[in-house]
């Protein structure tokens, strides 16, 4: 199909004359290019997104819930719909740098994130984890954050495996609103119990 596109929209693929690139459609996810290029990644403590986000409104920062030492925020570049990050307010790079209070609240927020996403979207499972250091894959290595990625049976299909594209069925602001409402409801129910 690429041959039908105007030259300005064609994607050059080296050493692929008549190969796979000539038969595959390209689905564009231009929002990912900012991440790939490193736009918005911190250059120092003064511009760390995980330090800046708590100073924003919940809606603008995509914050789902705030705790005493930890907050939950939607990932701006999600692997799946509902991909949350659980982040300590304190700017520390390593899990071993957390206080006992921060570790406890991080654990509680992880459980709350799983319960909330399950209630809202019926997730079948989760990938929970953190990459410690840039060598381990941390995109923002200087500020610890834990990922909670919801998974569904069959979510690894043609699109991510062959198409190398994730399909997100909802804009982040709508996802944030649903999760924040469900999180608040669950928290209120626990306090009443």
Q: Which residues contact 184 (CB under 8 A, 6 or more apart)?
A: 65
Q: Which residues contact 5 (CB under 8 A, 6 or more apart)?
A: none
Q: How many residues does the chain have?
A: 193
Q: Per-residue pLDDT for 161 more than 60?
A: no
What is the token pair recorded at 135? Answer: 């060598």
Backbone angles phi, psi at 6, to 5 degrees: -60, 150
- What is the C-alpha separation between 42 and 49, in angstroms, rounded? 7
Q: Which residues contact 14 (CB under 8 A, 6 or more apart)?
A: none
pLDDT tens string 3-60: 454 555 444 444 445 544 444 444 455 555 665 566 656 666 577 999 999 999 999 9
Count the Cβ atoms, other than its own, within 10 Å of residue 71. Answer: 22
**What's residue 43's pLDDT?**
62
pLDDT tens string 164-174: 455 555 678 88
Please indicate, yes or no, whether the overall pTM of this predicted structure exceeds 0.85: no
pLDDT tens string 106-149: 999 999 999 999 988 888 999 999 998 888 888 888 999 999 99
Q: Which is more confident, 83 or 138? A: 83
SS (H, E, C) the chain: CHHHCCHHHCCCCCCCCCCHHHCCCCCCCCHHHHHHHCCCCCCCHHHCHHHHHHHCCHHHHCEEEECCCEEEEECCCCCCCCCEEEEECCCCCCHHHCCHHHHHHHHHHHHHHHHHHHHHHCCCEEEEECCCCHHHCCCCCCCCCEEEEEECCCCCCHHHHCCCCCCCCCCHHHHHHHHHHHHHHHHHHHHHC
Active site residues: 145
Mean of all residue pLDDT scores within the chain: 78
């Amino acid at each position: 199909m690429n041959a039908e596109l105007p030259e300005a929209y064609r994607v050059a693929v080296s050493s692929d004359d008549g190969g796979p690139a000539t038969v595959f459609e390209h689905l564009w996810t231009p929002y990912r290019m900012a991440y790939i290029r490193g736009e918005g990644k911190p250059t120092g403590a003064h511009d760390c997104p995980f330090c800046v986000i708590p100073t924003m409104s919940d809606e603008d920062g995509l914050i789902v819930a705030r705790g005493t030492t930890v907050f939950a925020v939607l990932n701006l570049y999600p692997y799946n719909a509902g991909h949350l990050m659980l982040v300590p307010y304190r700017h520390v790079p390593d899990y071993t740098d957390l206080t006992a209070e921060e570790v406890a609240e991080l654990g509680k927020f992880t459980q709350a994130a799983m319960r909330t996403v399950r209630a809202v979207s019926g997730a079948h499972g989760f990938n929970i984890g953190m990459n410690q250091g840039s060598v381990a894959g941390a995109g923002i290595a200087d500020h610890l954050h834990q990922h909670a990625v919801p998974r569904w049976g069959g979510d690894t299909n043609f699109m991510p495996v062959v198409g190398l594209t994730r399909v997100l069925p909802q804009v982040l602001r709508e996802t944030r609103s649903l999760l924040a409402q469900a999180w608040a409801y669950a928290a209120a129910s626990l306090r009443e119990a």
